[in-house]
């Protein structure tokens, strides 16, 4: 069967789609461009804006491509979890709807639907346990790639948990991804070990709130910091990252790990959301700016080179100019190297829908533009400070922009910054994906660095 996967949303969704593609390819299906496909899988996101409308528009478009009786569309992800049956009622060619926990079984259902053209299914129940997915580790008789290997050479993502218990006032995730479910630490460690054996050099541990890993198991399994230490010990493990972290759950042991574990990358995404105590309280974030800044201080003490990034919402209900100034102030104090910032948007069923007064679109946009302008400057300044420094880069793929006389490759340093390196005299036959290389930074740009190679790649 020829299939196409369209992905929206966060890293978890990208990872889910990668896994689904591999799972289907291992069953003999072929991932192709949309124009050649018979089966279309849309992995949706509902965290912001007007996602349902967007998905409906895409489904209408895909409907025109379902021309033979066996052609159909499957909808997965957070919007699928929310709308469920509604998709089957609205679109005759949608024959599978699968939510967060349903994805584990999606390959099997896709196969069934490809054979039985009458069948239509909704798989939206939340399960009590983390649904382990098929892969090389689950079935030793099948020769599959280990489950975490995605599309970037040398790098892999490993899910360590699903769902979230925090119910921040603006967020729909607890409703679409369900309650927190940690995976068994032994399964995670086995997966990481297999990935390293297969040549993976960098592993990113994924979850909605990785720092509360294990808390749903009443201490019967490892804590997140213990898990980090165990993974760090795996022979050949060169780089570990993790995302996303809730500030309220960062344990002192995790802060310490940044100072102690040589293969834990000096990079942390620590969503602050707002710098105002008043707004943080309304958001239900369970920390205040003093506590957040304390964590940042201790992180910088443990690991002076740490690269901090964040998420910020502007225009949350009731946000005043003073509240917004506090957010600008926290940006100045932390000096995030980059940030994702958003205008607050009402999501159905979340607590903030009922909070007033709403901030006007105009004011929210003004605040967002102001914040993003300042972030641009800080990012530039942070990157400028790196010129002349030596760093190790994990190479990913040829750069988008190429020059004559050689070939340029793009990779990331341990802080997660994009670095482009020019290999003079080489051409596009040069294969460096997944290799590490020492470089000296020669130039900084708005969002990336340029380096020249110091030694040979390994």
Binding site for ligand SF4 (CB under 6 A): 9-10, 12-13, 45-47, 77-78, 172-173, 176-177
Q: Which residues contact 121 (CB under 8 A, 6 or more apart)?
A: 95, 96, 97, 98, 109, 113
Binding at 242: pick from ligand SF4, ligand 5AD, none (beta carbon under 5-8 Å per type): none
Binding at 283: pick from ligand 5AD, ligand SF4, none (beta carbon under 5-8 Å per type): none
Report the b/e string of 1-19 with b at 16+ CB within 10 A: bebbbbbbbbebbbbbbbb
Please identify which residue in 27, 48, 256, 380 interacts with ligand 5AD, judged by CB under 6 A: 48
DSSP bridge pairs for 423: 407
Please identify which residue in 273, 276, 375, 399 interacts with ligand 5AD, judged by CB under 6 A: 273
Instruction: Tell me what percent of the chain is helix, strand and coil, each rounded to the nearest 5.
Output: 35, 25, 40
Q: Considering the rule CB under 6 A, would residue 207 count as an interface residue with ligand 5AD?
A: no
Q: Considering the rule CB under 6 A, would residue 7 count as an interface residue with ligand 5AD?
A: no
Q: Considering the rule CB under 6 A, would residue 248 count as an interface residue with ligand 5AD?
A: no
Q: Are the C-beta atoms of 261 and 251 separated by less than 8 Å?
A: no
Q: Considering the rule CB under 6 A, would residue 47 count as an interface residue with ligand 5AD?
A: yes
Q: Is 164 annotated as a binding-site member?
A: yes
Cβ closest to ligand 5AD, residue 45 vs residue 114: 45
Q: DSSP class of residue 45?
A: -
The footprint of ligand 5AD on this chain (CB under 6 A) covers a number of residues equal to: 12
Which residue shows structure tokens 């040829």? 398
Q: Is 303 annotated as a binding-site member?
A: no
DSSP bridge pairs for 438: 392
The number of residues making up the chain comes to 458
Q: Which residues contact 453 (CB under 8 A, 6 or more apart)?
A: 421, 423, 437, 438, 439
**Minimal distance, residue 244 CB to ligand 5AD, in Å:** 7
**Minimal distance, residue 168 CB to ligand 5AD, in Å:** 8
Binding at 46: pick from ligand SF4, ligand 5AD, none (beta carbon under 5-8 Å per type): ligand SF4
Cβ closest to ligand 5AD, residue 106 vs residue 171: 171
DSSP bridge pairs for 441: 451
Q: Is 192 annotated as a binding-site member?
A: no
Largest interatomic CA distance in the chain = 64
Report the b/e string of 278-302 with b at 16+ CB within 10 A: bbbebbebebebeebbebbebbbeb
Using CB under 6 A as the binding rule, the residues of this chain from 364 to 393 that contact ligand 5AD are none
Q: Is 66 annotated as a binding-site member?
A: no
Q: DSSP class of residue 273?
A: B
d(CA 89, CA 250): 44
Cβ closest to ligand SF4, residue 100 vs residue 263: 100
From the list 172, 145, 168, the residue with the least C-alpha distance to 44 is 172
Q: Are the C-beta atoms of 227 and 191 separated by less than 8 Å?
A: no
> What are the φ and ψ backbone dihedral angles of 128, each rounded to 5 degrees?
-75, -25
Please identify which residue in 344, 409, 422, 423 interacts with ligand 5AD, judged by CB under 6 A: 344
Cβ closest to ligand SF4, residue 173 vs residue 407: 173
Binding residue numbers: 10, 45, 78, 164, 168, 171
Contacting positions for ligand 5AD (CB under 6 A): 47-48, 170-171, 271, 273, 311, 313, 342, 344-345, 347
Binding residue numbers for [4Fe-4S] cluster: 10, 45, 78, 164, 168, 171
């Amino acid at each position: 069967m020829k299939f196409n996967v369209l992905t929206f949303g966060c890293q978890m969704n990208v990872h889910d789609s990668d896994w689904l593609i591999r799972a289907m390819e291992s069953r003999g299906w072929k991932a192709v461009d949309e124009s050649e496909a018979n089966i279309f899988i849309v992995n949706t996101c509902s965290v912001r804006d007007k996602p349902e409308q967007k998905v409906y528009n895409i489904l209408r478009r895909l409907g025109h491509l379902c021309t033979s009786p066996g052609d159909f569309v499957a909808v997965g992800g957070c919007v699928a979890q929310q709308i469920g049956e509604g998709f089957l009622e609205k679109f005759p060619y949608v024959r599978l709807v699968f939510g967060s926990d349903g994805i584990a079984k999606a390959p099997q259902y896709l196969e069934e639907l490809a054979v039985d053209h009458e069948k239509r299914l909704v798989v939206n129940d939340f399960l009590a346990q983390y649904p382990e997915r098929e892969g090389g580790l689950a079935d030793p008789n099948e020769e599959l790639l280990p489950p975490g290997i995605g599309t970037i050479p040398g790098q892999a993502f490993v899910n360590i948990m699903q769902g979230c218990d925090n119910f921040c006032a603006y967020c729909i995730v607890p409703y679409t991804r369900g309650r927190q479910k940690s995976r068994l630490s032994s399964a995670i460690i086995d997966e990481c070990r297999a990935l390293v054996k297969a040549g993976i050099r960098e592993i990113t541990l994924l979850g909605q709130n990785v720092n509360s890993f294990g808390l749903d198991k009443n201490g019967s399994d490892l804590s997140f910091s213990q898990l980090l230490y165990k993974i760090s010990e795996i022979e050949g493990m060169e780089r570990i990252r993790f995302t996303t972290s809730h500030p309220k759950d960062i344990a002192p042991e995790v802060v310490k790990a940044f100072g102690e574990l040589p293969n834990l990358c000096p990079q942390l995404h620590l969503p602050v959301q707002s710098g105002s105590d008043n707004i943080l309280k309304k958001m239900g974030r369970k920390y205040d700016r003093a506590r957040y800044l304390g964590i940042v201080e201790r992180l910088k003490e443990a690991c002076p080179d740490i690269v901090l990034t964040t998420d910020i919402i502007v225009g949350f209900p009731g946000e005043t100019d003073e509240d917004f100034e506090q957010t600008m102030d926290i940006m100045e104090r932390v000096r995030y190297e980059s940030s994702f910032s958003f205008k607050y948007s009402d999501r159905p069923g979340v607590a903030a829908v009922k909070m007033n007064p709403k901030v006007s679109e105009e004011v929210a946009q003004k605040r967002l533009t102001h914040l993003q302008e300042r972030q641009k400057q800080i990012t530039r300044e942070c990157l400028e400070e790196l010129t002349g420094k030596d760093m190790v880069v994990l190479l990913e793929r040829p750069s988008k922009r190429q020059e004559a006389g050689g070939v340029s490759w793009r990779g990331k340093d341990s802080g997660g910054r994009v670095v482009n390196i020019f290999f003079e005299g080489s051409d596009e036959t040069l294969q460096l994906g997944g290799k590490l290389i020492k470089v000296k930074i020669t130039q900084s740009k708005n969002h990336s660095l340029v380096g020249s190679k110091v030694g040979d790649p390994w």
